[in-house]
Amino acid sequence: MEKIKLSPLEKAKTAVIAILTVTMLALAALYIGGSQFYTGGAAINVNEMPSGAVTVGETAPKFTAVYEKELLKASFAGIQFNGEGGGAYACEPAASDLISFSLEGIHRLLSSSAKISQSSAAEFEKAVNGNRYICISLLSPLPYQTVYALSGEYIAPASYENAISAEALMLVFDESCNASLYLRDGEKYYISQGEYSISQAELTVMASDSRLHDFEIANGNPISESSPVVQTLSLGVSALFGHDKLEELLKALEYTGNEVQPLATSSSYNVVAPHGVLLINQDKITYTAETEGGIPISSFLGNSKSELDLDMYDILLATVALAEKLCNVLPQSTADLYIEGFYKNDDTYTVVFGGSEGGIPISGDKYPHLMRVTVNGGRFKSIDARLITVEKSGLPFSPFSSAWEYRHAAKSASIHSLGLRYDVKELPVSELNAAWYYTGERQAEK
């Protein structure tokens, strides 16, 4: 059979047909694809900026992680290193410098890479006598997991089979400046060991801070012959909210669209919602959840989480967020917030926030805490927040030194802990001074 030869013109036509077919398919895809899927052009949807973005220069609070909020408060910090050292009360700047310096070590030695084991008073005393340590007395005992969460970025705390509430911490350094961390829980002592060291030069610099004064450790308590300088305070009860503050408060507590019904006293508000009852008095706010109700803590977290996935850290974050929201609604000059307690009983967590001024807690019969919250099943079940104003009044004064107080109290009691406190016996009070209080085998008020 003879092969048919195509002329160049026919070949060209074939090529043109092929090209036109391809372009037709391409244009069809472009048009159909665009008309069916493309939503370009002038924006149809308004996009949102990141929630934290503010106009440059606007006085917006810099984002702070929970460990940067200074919720872990101490009453005293001291250092001994190579024959030099000293301590400072929390109301003194040197103490906060020493505490800031120590936080990384504390955090690292409470992390999952560290190992906690039981120690003893004798070992603790031996470490003290080594004179190479930094000691910190916390304002109140806290679970070591909470100390971990408040001292650095939360990843995973160390694990230990028993609960430990640390009321004092001590970083101890060996000859190579490798650190171990002692925790004192009442009469019990624990040690956490891991990989952490500080350079000798840094420790020497901290120990030679001229602002520090001599101290010693007696029965686990740092005591100093130097007297602290503390401020006299005036405490007041917050005035009843104006309507705008009330709305802010309701918004802060995730209350919306409820009726506000004044009680017969006309000095309080009662707000009822399906999830619980909110009572706002002259000096406090109390919330009590209905049996199956409560305020979901996930609404206080940065991202939504299933109630089943919430852990201790989420509860800490949510309660801190709640406390901050309430404090922001309250008038200015409130007490400094700190975590006073973090407890777990079965499935219920209780978080207590204390108020303090200059590192000295404000508490007493008339003011047991700044806020106390219970959480169960991923919901706030109860909130008790006390509203006071704190103003500095009068001239600062110096109580007796802690060493003098300790010696005096030790005559009639075995001292567990000694610390300053503003004891609130009445509200309002115009000139409230801090005084020494101790706990021991025979508890007695001074």
State how far the Cα of 156 lies from the Cα of 110, in Å rounded to an integer. 9
Q: Contact with other proteins (CB under 8 A): which of 2, 3, 5, 45?
A: 45
CB of 90 to other proteins, least distance (A): 22
Judged by CB under 8 A, the residue of 1, 2, 47, 243 near other proteins is 47
Q: Does 332 bind other proteins (CB under 8 A)?
A: no
User: Which residues from 186-215 bind other proteins, rule CB under 8 A?
Assistant: none
Instruction: Pick the piece of the chain touching other proteins (CB under 8 A) from 15-23, 94-102, 385-393, 427-435.
Output: 15-23
Distances (CA, A) of 252 to 246, 295, 329: 10, 11, 8
CA distance 416 to 140: 12
Per the structure block, which two tokens stand in for 233? 């305070």
Place of tokens 């195509």: 6
Q: Does 27 bind other proteins (CB under 8 A)?
A: yes
Separation CA 363–CA 351 (nearest Å):
16
Q: Give the closest residue to 351 by CA, choosing from 388, 329, 387, 323.
A: 323
The stretch among 38-46, 161-169, 365-373, 407-415 that binds other proteins (CB under 8 A) is: 38-46
Name which position in 8, 35, 303, 445 contacts other proteins (CB under 8 A).
Answer: 35
Q: Are strands 388-392 and 233-237 parallel, antiparallel or unpaired?
A: antiparallel
Q: 56 or 201: whose CB is closer to other proteins?
A: 56
Measure Cα distances from 214 to 21, 75, 358, 360, 396 in Å. 93, 16, 20, 20, 22
Among 3, 5, 8, 46, contact with other proteins (rule: CB under 8 A): 46
Q: 1, 2, 51, 242: which one contacts other proteins (CB under 8 A)? A: 51
Q: CB 14 → other proteins: shortest distance, Å?
A: 7
CA 154 to chain centre: 11
Question: Which residue, 38 or 309, is less far from other proteins as judged by CB?
Answer: 38
CB-nearer residue toward other proteins: 60 or 239: 60
User: Does the CA dihedral 150-156-157-162 come out positive or negative?
Assistant: positive
Residues in the site for other proteins, rule: CB under 8 A? 10, 13-14, 16-17, 20-21, 23-24, 27-28, 30-31, 34-35, 38, 40-43, 45-60, 62-63
